[in-house]
Structure 1
Amino acid sequence: MRNISDVIEDYLKQIIQSSNSDVVELKRSEIAESFECVPSQINYVINTRFTLEKGYLVESKRGGGGYIRIIRLKPKSNQELIKEMDLVANQPLTQQSAFDLVERLKEEDLITEREKRLMLKVMHRDILDIPLPHRDLIRSKIFKELLTTIKMHG
């Protein structure tokens, strides 16, 4: 059975897709009410599933009339997306950030499902079995090399 976070994520993505815009404004309290959960559950989903690495920008206004604005970032081209990801990978990459970037490559059809699984495997902490912060540095270097390969053969 799927957990509530997955259901909320799917619901929010459906709202974004069905709107004719890449920007949606939502009331946290209304979403929490419709899913019979606390507003902090909505915050958790938004903070973990709608990140910059996954292609979203989130703005939030707290308080009584508070809202959440989710903006779907759409690069002008595949080359622009790769360039943006390359810039992100100039910093050490956590496993989650790297996985989010790879998932975005798949969503944008720049890699196949098989390539996605291979990329996730080589960047997993079990494979990069070295102490932090070196592990995140090496992960970013691996990711940048994979991006270069995608750029050259894509």
Structure 2
Amino acid sequence: MARLSDVIEEFIKSMLESSDELKLQIGRNELANHFSCAPSQINYVLTTRFTVDKGYYIESKRGGGGCIIISRISCSCNKNLLDIIIEKIGDSITYNSAVQIIDGLFEADIISDREVDILKAVINDRNFTEFVDNRNKVRANIFKSAIIVIFNEN
């Protein structure tokens, strides 16, 4: 049985896919009522499942009942997205965090299946057996270099 967070995530993603726009405007309280949950549950899903590294940008509007605008990051803002991803990678990154970024880029149609496979192979822990103490730092440097090359070709 799927967790409520998974159900909410899939519901929002299906709304985004059925929309002609790259943006979706929803009311947090209305969504919470729809799923019979607390608004904080909606916040949790938005902050953990719809992040920049997964290809989404969230805006919160106050007043008039308030709403949340979820935008898919499109390829037209690749330079800005590249800067955000490089900052997110930072000086050190775990394999799982890097995979989240890769999967988000794929989900946003920014990288191909092949690029996903290559990136995951390159950043795999098996490649860093000689750098056990510094593997996350080495991974970050390699990952940033590969992402820059990919973005410069797109």
How many residues are paired up?
Answer: 148
Percent identical among aligned pairs is 36
Q: Larger deviation: 37-46 or 58-67?
A: 58-67
Q: Does 1:111 align with 2:112?
A: yes
Report the equivalent of 2:38. 38
Alpha-carbon separation, structure 1, partners of 2:78 and 2:101: 10
What are the equivalent positions in structure 2 for 1:45-124 lying under 5 Å apart?
45-61=45-61, 65-76=65-76, 81=78, 84-85=81-82, 88-90=85-87, 91-92=90-91, 94-95=93-94, 97-107=97-107, 108=109, 110-112=111-113, 116=116, 119-120=119-120, 123=123
TM-score (norm 1): 0.72
Report the equivalent of 1:5. 5
Q: Could you tell me whether the CA contact under 8 Å between 2:75 and 2:110 is conserved in 1?
A: no
Q: Could you tell me whether the CA contact under 8 Å between 1:61 and 1:67 is conserved in 2?
A: yes
Alpha-carbon separation, structure 1, partners of 2:30 and 2:80: 37
| CA positional deviation for 1:111 | 3.3
Please list the CA deviations of residues 125-151 of structure 1 after superposition, one character each: whole Å capped at 9, or x if unmatched: 7986856xx555333212123335656
3-state SS of paired residue (1:65): coil
| CA positional deviation for 1:75 | 1.2
Q: Unpaired runs of 5+ in structure 1?
A: none
Alpha-carbon separation, structure 2, partners of 1:43 and 1:125: 33
| CA positional deviation for 1:28 | 0.7
Q: Could you tell me whether the CA contact under 8 Å between 1:92 and 1:139 is conserved in 2?
A: no
Alpha-carbon separation, structure 1, partners of 2:84 and 2:41: 31
3-state SS of paired residue (2:69): strand
Going from structure 1 to structure 2, the CA distance change for 1:93 and 1:69 (only over 3 Å counts) comes to: farther
Alpha-carbon separation, structure 1, partners of 2:115 and 2:52: 22
| CA positional deviation for 1:115 | 5.8
3-state SS of paired residue (1:89): helix
Going from structure 1 to structure 2, the CA distance change for 1:149 and 1:109 (only over 3 Å counts) comes to: same
Q: Unpaired runs of 5+ in structure 2?
A: none
TM-score (norm 2): 0.72
Alpha-carbon separation, structure 1, partners of 2:60 and 2:110: 30
Alpha-carbon separation, structure 2, partners of 1:57 and 1:127: 33
Q: Structure 1 or 2: larger helix share? A: 2
Q: Does 1:147 align with 2:144?
A: no
- Which one-letter code corresponds to 1:11 in the other structure? F
